[in-house]
Amino acid sequence: MLADVLLYLLVGAGAGFMGGLLGIGGGLLIVAALSFTLPGLGIPSTEVMQVAVATSLTGIVLTASSSTFAQVRRRALLLPTLLWLAPGLVLGGFVGAHLAQRMTGPLLRTAIGIFCVVTAWRMAFGKLRARSEVHVPRSPWLSLAGLGIGTISSIIGIGGGSLVVPLLVALGVKPVRAVATSAACGLVIGLASAASYMVALHPPTRPLPTGAVGYVYLPAAAATAVASMTTAQFGVRLAHRLPGAILNQIFSIFLVAVGALIMLGG
Residue 58: domain span: 2-264
Which tens digits make up the pLDDT trace of 191-215?
A: 999 999 999 888 888 888 888 999 9
The total of other beta-carbon atoms located within 10 Å of residue 202's CB is: 15
Q: How many other C-beta atoms lie within 10 A of the C-beta of residue 129?
A: 9
Mean pLDDT of the chain: 84
Write the CA distances from 258 to 164, 228, 262, integer angstroms. Answer: 20, 17, 6
**One-letter amino acid of 186:** G
Structurally, the chain folds into a number of domains equal to 1
pTM for this structure?
Answer: 0.87
> What's the CA gap between 94 and 50, in Å, rounded?
14
List, in order, residues 6 or more apart from 123 with CB less than 8 Å away: 162, 248, 251, 252, 255
pLDDT, tens digit (0-9, with 9 covering 90-100), for 13-66: 887 777 666 656 578 888 888 888 888 888 888 899 999 999 999 988 888 887
Backbone phi, then psi, for 74, in 5-degree steps? -85, -5
Average pLDDT over residues 232-245: 69
- 130 pLDDT above the threshold of 70: no
- Return d(Cα 220, Cα 9) in angstroms, integer: 8
pLDDT of residue 231: 82
